[in-house]
Chains A and B, each alone.
Chain A
């Protein structure tokens, strides 16, 4: 039980790290498209890692099954949501930032 809790903590810590990196990227990166990278990738993995940590902490219960479903749904819906955001920006002809441009 002790080992499982430690493992859960490690997963939650890694997840937290990626969530923080996603937030930092949202501020540091120069334009809309590059920010979508930070929120799309880092948040998906961060949430997934944290939920896996919760599953390990919870053990074999119905709540763990629900958490597994959550992980699956996040891995399907999160990239789809990011794609639809970026797709709208692209169809409105927002030019992507290039190396050497000014930050916006």
Chain B
């Protein structure tokens, strides 16, 4: 049994059902027959309706687990950068003269995976003074609060882009 996108759909649905049941139990906290029965019913309905929406990746389970672990290891660094970005935005908002210089930036990347593009767009919204405006293919349009520093971070050093590309094994 594998969880590949072209693997058996039954195996994928059983895995999804298991995950949903764990989630149900975490949220309810009751183990008596009534609550568990309601959980089985709800999870079965969700699995029947949207079982093919999850686990669509072409990667093997082992590869996905490695990517997941690498991503979890990247989170502390991301949180630190989010904190810096927030302090910067807070400073600019509270400064009496409001030193902002907004504008649009376009970034070309070679990213194709859905999860990777979502992760990149969300990281850019959270970190270096930018909000992702538009994504089409591998081209990202972002609105920057301070044009100059954001250009330096996104077009010259490209820290987030290189990091996420390495994590997801895709060319930047």
Contacts and interface: CB of A to CB of B under 8 A. Distances in A.
Interface in B68-86: 82-83, 85-86
Given A42-B90, A79-B122, A98 B134 contact: no
A75 B85 CA distance: 15
Interface stretch (B12-20, B41-49, B56-64, B95-103): B95-103
Interface residues of A, number: 36
Contacts of A57: none
Interface in B91-123: 93-94, 98, 100-104, 118, 121-122
Size category of the B interface is: 20 to 34
Contacts, number: 95
A65 B25 CA distance: 11
B39 to A, nearest CB: 15
Contacts of B98: 28-29
Interface string A73-92: 00110011011001100110
A31 B103 CA distance: 12
A30 B122 CA distance: 23
B122 A41 contact: no
B22 to A, nearest CB: 11
Secondary structure dominating the interface of A: helix
B36 interface: no
Given A40-B131, A87-B133, A45 B102 contact: no
Given A29-B100, A36-B131, A87-B134, 5 more contacts: A21-B94, A44-B126, A83-B125, A90-B141, A96-B102
Interface of A: 17-18, 21, 24-25, 28-29, 31, 33-34, 36-38, 40-42, 44-45, 62, 65-66, 69, 75-76, 79-80, 82-83, 86-87, 90-91, 96-99
Of all A-B residue pairs in the complex, the 7 with the closest CB atoms, nearest first, are A79-B125, A25-B93, A79-B122, A21-B90, A33-B143, A45-B86, A90-B133
